[in-house]
Chain A
Amino acid sequence: MNLNLKSDKAHTFDAIVVGSGMTGGMAAKELTERGLQVLMIERGREVKHIEDYDTAMKGPWEFEHRGKVSIHSAEEYWANNRFGTLANEETGPFFTNDQKNPYIEKRPFDWIKAYHTGGKSMHWGRQSYRMNKKDFEANAKEGIAIDWPIRYEDLEPWYTHVEKFVGISGQAEGWEVLPDGHYLPAMPMSAPELYFRETMKKKLNRPVTIGRVANLTKPQPWHTDLGRASCQYRSKCARGCPYGGYYSSLSGSIPAARKTNKLTVLHDTIASEIIYDEKTKKAKGVRVINQNTMAVEEFFAKIVFLNAGSMNTAALLLNSKSNRFPTGLGNDSDQVGRNIMDHHLGVGANATVEGFENDYIFGQRPNALYIPRFRNWGTDKKDFLRGYGYQGGASKSDWKRGIITNGFGASFKEDMSRPGTWTMGFGGFGEILPDPSNRMFLDKEKKDKWGIPMIVFDAAFGENELAMRKDMMTSAVEMLEVAGFKNVTGFNRQDTHPGLGIHDMGTARMGKDPKNSVLNKFNQVHDCKNVFVTDGAAMVSSSCVNPSITYMAMTARAADYAVGELKRHNL
């Protein structure tokens, strides 16, 4: 073997972070700020903050199909578009072409990918809620799957740490079900929403709050230091925000990491394998393939953070075979790739709201109302486990109402230039229970164009989720009816699949026992302690709250621990 020492040195870092999305960015920030030289590997193309947000400032007329998806594009982005229109002309740059990145479905799975700098942090919904104390205890109490090896208190300081950095607008409410964090000023509710909140409190004793969202309502010095400015209320976040108004890896963690001068980023670089050293019993680095040139290289580090997104992180573990780990790195328990969770959605209700004719809104609120979980909470008891939260709100109808109402001509045209009546609606996000038979694995024969085994999905909603969905629709209808709204219509889409919530998680769960889990309580792979997994793969249960802030808190905690362990010469 030819040893090129100079090149070896150029290929050696203190830490390698695989992925540049929500958690990869946070890992890079936390590790570089603690003095480590970090190599970040991103499999997709480079996106530069602001200058590459090609669609951000376009007027509606500058999109050829005016927001509709062409048949050609729907074929290319088939997973994104088979339920709706996730990837369209406005947001397409931050979703991934499914035809070029195919996967196999034993049972259907909506795998929404984001292969570019910033990953899914570019298009996320920005809703940021802490999991509550009971979320961490429920598995143990109910005998579901395995217990979390950590409790709320372990993550609490790290929630605070990342919330302040990210910048989350919201209202502290003092509710046990939705622990308060550190918030920038809350966004206002509209008149019908304020009425709805009061009515729900009085008549159903159900709390309603304004969404806790990662948009800056009042930037703090550490935000402006990174070039971030206040939200402009355009609500075109998913095109990329030239103001840095919402948090993404590109507006937040990556610039923070770059400030340390300790970050190196490689784009178009697919991690194919973690290189395991049988002598030291540790990972020594990562083998990568350039997605364009197909060139294979190796990079080395003392620690490796896997933040490729739950499915790709698990695939990378499974593809990293060695004498010690013949079925994939860290897969002694056979749990890698299993226990896929997400949040199930596409169920809720809509209504029209009479009155409030003179109330209107200036600006587009990139946020919604939040109705925290009330099922199986306190004295409530249902015939399913866990619960769900609702997101939604009220708005005044615009010209689109005219598409299905009768009328045409001069007065119709004039009428369409004015706001119509208010409507209100919301949809649920339901907890999914971990189930080892919900899984992904690598196909034994089929490989992608880079020679990496293709991912096969084999997952579906279970009885608990299906029972919960019925209640999600019924309760939504009930709430809108109790509020006195009209034309209340429930919906419960039957054609959604796991994955569509884009909260996929659970494929390398933490646990106390290496026999039934992949990671320990500091997100270290059992028996390969210098590999940390801190994306959604680490989750042991899903709660019903949007998960990104939890992933980020977990990442910051693990990074702090990893650097401590390096200093203590334990890694």
Chain B
Amino acid sequence: MNRRTAITHVATMLGGAFSAPTLLAMKRWEGRVPAEGFPAEFTLTENQKLIVAEVAEMIIPKTTTPGAKDVDVPAFITMMLQDCYKTPEHKSFLEGLNNLEKKQFLSVNAGQRTALLQQVEIDSAEEMKAYQVQQTKMGDNEDREQMAAQAKGLPFWRLMKELTMLGYFTSEEGIKSSFEYVPIPGKLEMIQMKPNQKSFAY
């Protein structure tokens, strides 16, 4: 989110929780140590890629509108982990994938898959308590989420949720099919919601 993003985003704070990979840069500074090298290339096995794709599609399934797979969310997730996250998140993400592999995620039926993810979600909520997520109003009209730096990466589920939703709801098809996309509103009005009002996206 840019520095001067509208205060209309203030609210996204509580719900709108992006993790902050850039904290690593801050940590580097605090420790007065030279920049770390970039992590080695982040790669997934074919089986892991299949799990990522299935989990993403379970978070945002194809309905009357496209699903996560339709808009290439799985490839987006891998790219983002490579470009925007460092080793702790790579580790925790792979740990989560291994966990699902052990439980034969790809072999079990749809109901069992859902149950597995529900358990992962519950466990993840517990793990997230350690992260002390905090919302900060920053700059003249911007806010952002910060977390205390953690040695352990963000949990797999949190990364999957965030990157799937980010990849989907900012894709062209995802935006246009999910929201009322208004790139140039041209006016500012306080309005009443219509029945089944979709969110405006800008």
Residue of A nearest to B39 (CB): A71
Extra contacts, 8 of them, besides A391-B7, A425-B135 (Cβ < 8 A), are A65-B83, A71-B38, A85-B20, A234-B202, A235-B4, A363-B188, A368-B140, A401-B12
B3 touches A86 (CB 8 A): yes
- Assuming the contacts A125-B141, A361-B190, asked whether A398 and B199 have C-beta atoms less than 8 A apart, the reply is yes
Find B190's partner among A68, A78, A190 (CB 8 Å cutoff): A190
A237 in the interface (beta carbon within 8 A): yes
Contact sample, A vs B, 26 pairs, CB 8 Å cutoff: A59-B183, A68-B166, A72-B38, A75-B35, A91-B3, A127-B140, A238-B4, A350-B143, A360-B197, A361-B190, A362-B200, A363-B185, A366-B4, A366-B141, A367-B6, A394-B11, A396-B11, A397-B14, A397-B15, A399-B169, A401-B15, A408-B58, A413-B65, A414-B63, A425-B137, A491-B136
Q: Which residues of B contact A406 (CB under 8 A)?
A: 121-122, 125
Report A458-494 CB contacts with B as 1/0, cut-off 8 Å: 0000000000000000000000000000010101010
Task: Determine which of B11, B14, B165 lies in contact with A416 in the assembled complex, contact meaning CB atoms within 8 Å.
Answer: B165
A392 pairs with B16, CB closer than 8 A = no
**Nearest CB on A from B193, distance (A):** 5
**CB-CB < 8 A to B192: which residues of A?**
358-360
A residues less than 8 Å from B117 (CB atoms)? 408
Known: A65-B83, A83-B26, A362-B188. A126 touches B140 (CB 8 A): yes
Q: Is B74 an interface residue (CB 8 A)?
A: no
Q: Would you call B17 and A404 a contact (CB within 8 A)?
A: yes
With contacts A235-B8, A423-B13 taken as known, whether A361 is within 8 angstroms of B188 at the C-beta atoms is yes
Taking CB atoms, residues of chain A closer than 8 Å to B114 are 409
Q: Which residues of A contact B2 (CB under 8 A)?
A: 67, 85-86, 88, 90-91, 236, 238-239
Q: Give B52-94 interface residues, CB cut-off 8 Å to A.
A: 58-61, 63, 65, 79-80, 83-86
A357 an interface residue at 8 Å Cβ cutoff? yes
Cα distance, A501 to B165, chains bound together (Å): 31
Interface flags, A57-71, vs B, CB<8A=1, else 0: 101110111111111
B176 to chain A, nearest CB (A): 9
Q: In the bound complex, how far is the Cα of B144 from the Cα of A345, in angstroms?
A: 13
Q: Is the CB of A359 within 8 A of B183?
A: no
- Residue A449, interface by CB 8 Å: no
Given A393-B7, A404-B128, A408-B117, answer yes or no on A71-B86 (Cβ-Cβ < 8 Å).
yes
Contacts of B12 in A (CB 8 A): 395, 397-398, 400-401, 423
List, in ascending order, chain A residues with CB within 8 A of B137's CB: 345-346, 348, 350, 391-392, 425-427, 491
Complex contact A365–B191 (CB within 8 A): no
In the complex, what's the smallest C-beta–C-beta distance from B10 to chain A, in angstroms?
5
Complex CA–CA separation, A439 to B122 (angstroms): 51
Which residue from B11, B18, B184 sits with its C-beta under 8 Å from A397? B11
Chain A 78-122 near chain B by CB (<8 Å), digits 1 or 0 = 100111111010110000000000000000100000000000000
Known: A126-B4, A127-B140, A395-B7. Is A360-B22 also a contact (CB below 8 A)?
no
A239 to B2, CA, bound (A): 9
B103 within 8 A of A: no
Known: A72-B83, A423-B13. A84 touches B185 (CB 8 A): no
> B188 and A188: CB pair below 8 A?
yes
Q: Is A403 an interface residue (CB 8 A)?
A: yes
* Chain A positions within 8 Å of B22 at CB level: 69, 71, 74, 81-82, 84-85
Q: How near does chain A come to B116, taking the closest CB pair, in angstroms?
A: 12
> How far is A126 from B190 in the complex, measured between Cα atoms in Å?
22
**Chain B's nearest CB lies how many Å from the CB of A416?**
7
Q: How far is the CB of B113 from chain A (nearest CB, A)?
A: 11
A368 in contact with B141 (CB, 8 Å): yes
Question: In the complex, what distance in Å separates the CA atom of A424 from the CA atom of B13?
Answer: 9
| Closest 9 A/B residue pairs (Cβ) | A401-B15, A125-B140, A427-B137, A400-B16, A423-B11, A235-B6, A363-B185, A395-B11, A368-B7
Complex: A393 Cα to B190 Cα, angstroms: 14
Residue of A359, A366, A400 near B193 (CB, 8 A) is: A359
- Contact A360 B6, beta carbon cutoff 8 Å: no
**Given A361-B190, A404-B17, A410-B63, residue A366 in contact with residue B38 (CB < 8 A):** no
B53 to chain A, nearest CB (A): 14
- With a cutoff of 8 Å between Cβ atoms, the chain B residues found around residue A188 in the complex are 188-190
Cβ of B186: which chain A residues have Cβ within 8 Å of it?
Answer: 232-233, 363
Cα-based distance from A236 to B6 in the complex (angstroms): 8
Question: Is there contact, CB below 8 Å, between B139 and A345?
Answer: yes
- Contact digits for A494-506, partner B, Cβ 8 Å, 1 yes 0 no: 0100000110000
Q: Are B11 and A424 in contact (CB under 8 A)?
A: yes
Q: Are B80 and A68 in contact (CB under 8 A)?
A: yes
Contact (Cβ within 8 A) A495 B26: yes
Q: In the complex, which residues of chain A have a beta carbon less than 8 angstroms from the beta carbon of B199?
A: 396, 398-399, 417-419
Q: How far is the CB of B131 from chain A (nearest CB, A)?
A: 10
Question: Are A408 and B59 in touch, CB under 8 angstroms?
Answer: yes
Q: Are B200 and A235 in contact (CB under 8 A)?
A: no
Q: Flag B18-53 by CB within 8 Å of A: 1 or 0 each.
A: 101110111011000001001000000000000000
- How many angstroms from the CA of A268 to the CA of B202 in the assembled complex? 35
Assess the B85–A392 pair: CB atoms within 8 A: no
For A491, list chain B residues within 8 Å (CB).
134-137
Report the Cα distance A211→B85, complex, angstroms: 36
How does the 8 Å CB contact mask read for A332-371 relative to B, with 1 for contact and 0 for none? Answer: 0000000000000110101010000111111111111100
> How far apart sit A135 and B2, CA to CA, in the bound complex (Å)?
31
In the assembly, what is the distance between CA of A525 and CA of B140, in Å? 32
At the interface, yes or no: A420 with Cβ under 8 Å from chain B?
A: yes
Within 8 Å CB of A369, what residues of B? 7
B8 touches A364 (CB 8 A): yes
- B152 in contact (CB, < 8 A): no
Tell whether A187 is near chain B: CB-to-CB under 8 Å. yes
Residue contact B15 to A234, C-beta cutoff 8 Å: no
Chain A residues, Cβ within 8 Å of B121: 406, 408
Report yes or no: A402 in contact with B161, Cβ–Cβ below 8 A. yes
Minimum CB distance partner of B25 in chain A = A74
Q: Do B7 and A427 touch across chains, with their CB atoms under 8 A apart?
A: no
A517 is an interface residue with CB less than 8 A from chain B: no
**Contact assessment for B135 and A85 in the assembled complex, using a CB-CB cutoff below 8 Å:** no
Question: Which of B79, B114, B141, B166 has the most chain A CB within a 10 Å cutoff?
Answer: B141
Question: With contacts A362-B188, A364-B202, A419-B199 known, is A71 near B24, CB below 8 A?
Answer: yes
Give per-residue flags for A225-260: 1 if the beta carbon is below 8 A from chain B beta carbons, else 0: 000000111111111000000000000000000000
Return the CB mask of B121-149 against A: 1 if under 8 Å, else 0. 11001001000011111111111101000
